[in-house]
C-alpha cells in the first residue's frame, strides 16, 4: 500500500517536470531576444578615504604644516603651518587634517604672498581643546567676529599682528579664563567695541600698537582688572578721559607714544593708582593741567619727550612724588622753575633720579639759577652730567637789560659764532605732525645788513651752556617774570644752599617798598585835596 503511494507521487513529479520545462525554456528564449538577460546590478559600496595627516608635509595640501615632535607615532604638541592657496573656504576639507592632531598646544599660521586667509578658522579651533598659544599673521581679516576663538579654556596667548583687522566686534575675545596676552599690533583697527574684551580675568598684556584708533570708548577696559601692560603707541588718539581707564587699577605700564594728544586735563590718570611707567612722548601736547598727574603716587617713569610744551604749571609734579626718570627733551620750554620741581627735589638730590632737558628754548635768566645748586648738591653723577650740559638762550640785544657778556665770552660759552643770529622756526613740523627736535635755522647777518623785517626780538638769542656762566653773570628776571623760584621752607630739608636768591629777593622787595611809599604819598595828597578822605 505504501509502495503504491510512493510510486504515484514519483509519477506526478515526473509529469510536472515534463510539462513546465518547455514553458521555462520558451520564456528564456523570449528574454534573450529582448536583451533582458543581464545580471542584476547591486549598489556600489562607498569606502571613505582616510584623513590626511596634518603633519605629513604634503605639498599638495593647501596648507603645509611642520609639527613637533616630528614622529608619526606620537601626537604633535606644536605646529607651524603655511597657507599657499588663495582658495581656502571655511568648509575646505584641508581643515579636517587638524582632527588628526587634536592635542596641539601651540599653533602658528602664516599666510604666504600667494595665499589668502580672510577669516579666523573658528570651526577648526573649536576642536583644539588643549590649545594654549595661537598666532595668525599676514592674513586679510577685516573683522574679528564674536566668539572668534570659541570657548578655548586653556588659551594663554593670542597673536594676530599684520592681518589688516579693522573692526573688533562685541565678545570677540570672551570666556577665556587663562588668557594672559593679546597682541593686535600693526593692523588697521578703527574701533574697539566696548564689549570686545570680556570675561578675561587673567589678561595681563594688551598690545594695540600701530593701528588707526582715533578714540576709545568709556569703560572699554573695565573688565580687564588684572591688566599689567597696555600699549597704544602710534595710533590717532586725540582725547583722553578718566572713564577710559576705569577698571585698570593694577596697570603698571601705559604707552601712548606717537598719538595726536594736545592736552592732558585734570585727574585723567587717577584710576591708575598702580601705574609705574607712562609714555606720552612724540605727541603734540601743548598744555598739561596742573593736576594732570594727580593720583599717580607710584609712577617711576614719565616720558614727555618731543611735544610742544612751552611752560609747566606750578605744582605739576605734585601728584608724582616717586618719579625717578623724567624726560622733557625736545619741547619748547622757556624755563623750568624750582616750584615746578619741588615735589621731586628729594629724588633729584638724594637718589638716582634721571632728568632729560635737551633741545628746549630755556632763557638765560634768574629762573634757572636753582640748577646751579642742584648740580652742586646732587649725589647722582648722571644728573650732574645732564645739568652740566644744559643750554639756554642768551639775550644778545639786551631785551631784559644790558648784556653782561662780552664778545669773547659769547664766543667761549656759545656753540655758534657771536655774529650769527639764531632764528627758531616755530612752525616747522615733520610729515607726521610732530615737531622736529632741535630745528634751528642759522643765518648770518653782516654789520651792514639788518635782520629780516618783522622778526621778533626774541629770536635774537645766542645758545650758551648754562653752567659755563657765573651766577652774577645771569641777569635778574625782568619785572613781568619775577616770581619765587623756590620755596624757602624746603631748603634745609633737601640740603640746598639757596642763598643766591636773597639778593634777587631783596632787590625785588626793595623795589616793591619804594613803589608802595610813592603810591601812599600820592594817595595822601589826593585825599587832602578831595573832602579830606583817607586812603
pLDDT at 116 over 70: yes
CA 528 to chain centre: 70
The more confidently predicted of residues 158 and 73 is 158
What's the pLDDT at 52? 75
pLDDT digits (tens, 9 = 90+) for 302-311: 999 999 999 9
pLDDT at 333 over 90: yes
Average model confidence (pLDDT) across the chain? 78
Q: Which residues contact 424 (CB under 8 A, 6 or more apart)?
A: 361, 439, 440, 441, 459
Task: Identify the H or E element spanning 506.
Answer: helix 500-529
Q: Computed from CA positions of residues 55, 57, 59, 65, in that sequence, does the dihedral angle turn out positive or negative?
A: positive
User: Rounded CA gap, 166 and 143, in Å?
Assistant: 6
CA 250 to chain centre: 17
pLDDT digits (tens, 9 = 90+) for 179-211: 999 999 999 999 999 999 999 999 999 999 999
| Phi-psi region at 262: left, alpha or beta (left = phi > 0; alpha = psi -120 to 50) | alpha
Q: Which three cell numbers stand for residue 374?
A: 642742584
pTM: 0.74
Write down the residue that cell numbers 568709556 correspond to. 218
Q: How confident is the model at residue 426 (pLDDT cuts 50, 70, 90)?
A: very low
pLDDT at 427 over 80: no
Q: What percent of the chain has a predicted confidence (pLDDT) above 90?
A: 54
pLDDT at 259 over 80: yes
Which of 317, 283, 285, 286 is CA-nearest to residue 302?
A: 317
Of the candidate ranges 16-20, 121-125, 128-132, 154-158, the one whose mean pLDDT is the lowest? 16-20
What's the pLDDT at 524? 52
pLDDT at 467 over 60: yes
Q: Which residues contact 533 (CB under 8 A, 6 or more apart)?
A: 527
Can 52-212 and 223-334 be said to share one CATH topology? yes
For strands 229-231 and 205-207, give the pairing: parallel
The more confidently predicted of residues 101 and 54 is 101
User: Rounded CA gap, 429 and 425, in Å?
Assistant: 9
What's the pLDDT at 351? 80
10 Å Cβ neighbour count for 444? 10
The superfamily (CATH) of domain 223-334 is: Ribonuclease Inhibitor (3.80.10.10)
pLDDT at 361 over 90: yes
- Per-residue HEC secondary structure of 222-288 comes to CCCCCCCEEECCCCCCCCCCHHHHCCCCCCCEEECCCCCCCEECCCCCCCCCCCCEEECCCCCCCEE
Task: Identify the H or E element spanning 79.
Answer: strand 78-83
pLDDT at 47 over 80: no
pLDDT digits (tens, 9 = 90+) for 522-533: 545 555 444 444
Task: Answer for the pair 374, 485: CB distance below 8 angstroms, yes or no.
Answer: no
Of the candidate ranges 213-222, 252-261, 347-356, the one whose mean pLDDT is the lowest? 347-356
Write down the residue that cell numbers 619741547 correspond to. 331
pLDDT at 326 over 70: yes
What average pLDDT does this structure show over 340-363? 92
What's the pLDDT at 5? 59
pLDDT at 484 over 90: no
Q: Which three cell numbers stand for residue 190?
A: 578703527
Task: Identify the H or E element spanning 16.
Answer: helix 2-34
Q: How confident is the model at residue 416 (pLDDT cuts 50, 70, 90)?
A: very low
pLDDT at 429 over 50: no
Encode burial over 497-524: b for 16+ CB neighbours within 10 A, e otherwise. ebebbeebeeebeeeeeeeeeeeeeeee
What's the pLDDT at 356? 96
What's the pLDDT at 438? 38
- Domain edges within the chain: 52-212, 223-334, 362-415+460-478
Q: What's the topology of domain 52-212?
A: 3.80.10
The more confidently predicted of residues 335 and 351 is 335
Q: How confident is the model at residue 75 (pLDDT cuts 50, 70, 90)?
A: confident
pLDDT at 425 over 70: no
Amino acid at each position: 500500500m505504501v509502495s503504491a503511494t510512493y510510486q504515484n507521487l514519483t509519477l506526478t513529479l515526473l509529469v510536472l517536470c515534463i510539462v513546465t520545462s518547455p514553458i521555462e525554456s520558451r520564456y528564456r528564449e523570449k528574454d534573450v531576444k529582448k536583451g533582458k538577460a543581464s545580471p542584476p546590478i547591486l549598489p556600489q559600496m562607498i569606502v571613505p578615504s582616510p584623513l590626511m595627516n596634518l603633519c605629513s608635509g604634503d605639498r599638495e595640501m593647501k596648507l603645509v604644516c611642520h609639527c613637533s615632535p616630528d614622529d608619526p607615532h606620537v601626537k604633535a604638541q606644536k605646529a607651524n603651518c603655511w597657507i599657499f592657496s588663495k582658495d581656502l573656504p571655511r568648509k575646505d576639507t584641508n581643515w579636517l587634517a587638524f582632527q588628526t592632531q587634536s592635542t596641539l598646544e601651540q599653533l602658528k599660521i602664516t599666510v604666504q604672498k600667494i595665499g589668502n586667509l580672510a577669516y579666523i578658522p573658528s570651526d577648526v579651533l573649536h576642536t583644539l581643546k588643549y590649545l594654549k598659544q595661537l598666532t595668525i599673521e599676514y592674513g586679510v581679516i577685516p573683522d574679528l567676529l564674536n566668539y572668534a576663538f570659541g570657548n578655548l579654556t586653556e588659551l594663554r596667548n593670542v597673536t594676530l599682528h599684520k592681518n589688516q583687522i579693522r573692526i573688533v566686534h562685541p565678545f570677540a575675545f570672551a570666556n577665556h579664563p587663562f588668557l594672559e596676552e593679546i597682541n593686535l599690533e600693526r593692523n588697521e583697527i578703527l574701533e574697539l567695541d566696548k564689549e570686545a574684551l570680556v570675561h578675561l580675568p587673567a589678561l595681563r598684556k594688551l598690545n594695540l600698537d600701530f593701528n588707526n584708533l582715533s578714540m576709545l570708548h568709556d569703560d572699554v577696559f573695565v573688565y580687564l582688572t588684572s591688566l599689567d601692560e597696555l600699549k597704544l603707541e602710534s595710533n590717532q588718539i586725540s582725547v583722553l578721559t578718566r572713564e577710559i581707564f576705569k577698571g585698570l587699577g593694577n596697570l603698571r605700564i601705559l604707552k601712548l607714544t606717537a598719538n595726536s594728544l594736545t592736552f592732558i586735563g585734570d585727574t585723567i590718570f587717577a584710576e591708575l593708582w598702580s601705574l609705574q611707567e607712562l609714555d606720552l612722548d612724540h605727541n603734540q601736547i601743548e598744555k598739561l593741567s596742573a593736576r594732570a598727574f594727580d593720583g599717580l603716587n607710584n609712577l617711576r617713569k614719565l616720558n614727555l619727550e618731543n611735544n610742544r610744551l612751552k611752560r609747566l604749571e606750578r605744582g605739576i609734579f605734585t601728584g608724582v612724588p616717586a618719579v625717578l626718570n623724567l624726560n622733557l627733551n625736545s619741547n619748547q620750554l622757556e624755563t623750568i622753575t624750582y616750584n615746578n620741581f619741588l615735589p621731586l627735589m628729594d629724588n633729584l638730590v638724594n637718589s638716582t633720579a634721571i632728568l632729560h632737558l635737551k633741545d628746549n628754548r630755556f632763557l638765560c635768566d634768574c629762573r634757572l639759577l636753582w640748577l646751579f645748586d642742584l648740580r652742586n648738591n646732587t649725589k647722582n653723577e648722571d644728573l650732574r652730567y645732564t645739568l652740566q650740559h644744559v643750554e639756554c638762550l642768551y639775550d644778545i640785544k639786551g631785551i631784559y637789560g644790558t648784556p653782561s657778556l662780552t664778545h669773547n665770552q659769547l664766543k667761549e660759552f656759545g656753540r655758534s659764532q657771536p655774529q650769527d643770529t639764531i632764528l627758531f622756526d616755530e612752525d616747522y613740523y615733520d610729515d607726521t605732525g610732530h615737531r622736529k627736535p632741535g630745528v634751528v635755522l642759522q643765518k648770518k647777518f653782516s654789520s651792514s645788513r639788518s635782520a629780516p623785517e618783522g622778526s621778533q626780538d626774541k629770536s635774537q638769542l645766542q645758545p650758551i651752556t648754562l653752567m659755563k656762566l657765573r651766577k652774577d653773570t645771569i641777569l635778574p628776571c625782568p619785572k613781568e617774570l619775577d616770581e619765587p623760584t623756590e620755596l624757602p621752607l624746603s631748603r634745609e630739608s633737601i640740603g640746598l644752599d639757596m642763598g643766591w636768591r636773597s639778593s634777587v629777593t631783596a632787590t625785588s622787595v626793595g623795589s616793591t617798598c619804594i613803589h608802595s611809599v610813592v603810591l601812599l604819598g600820592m594817595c595822601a595828597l589826593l585825599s587832602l585835596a578831595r573832602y579830606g578822605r583817607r586812603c
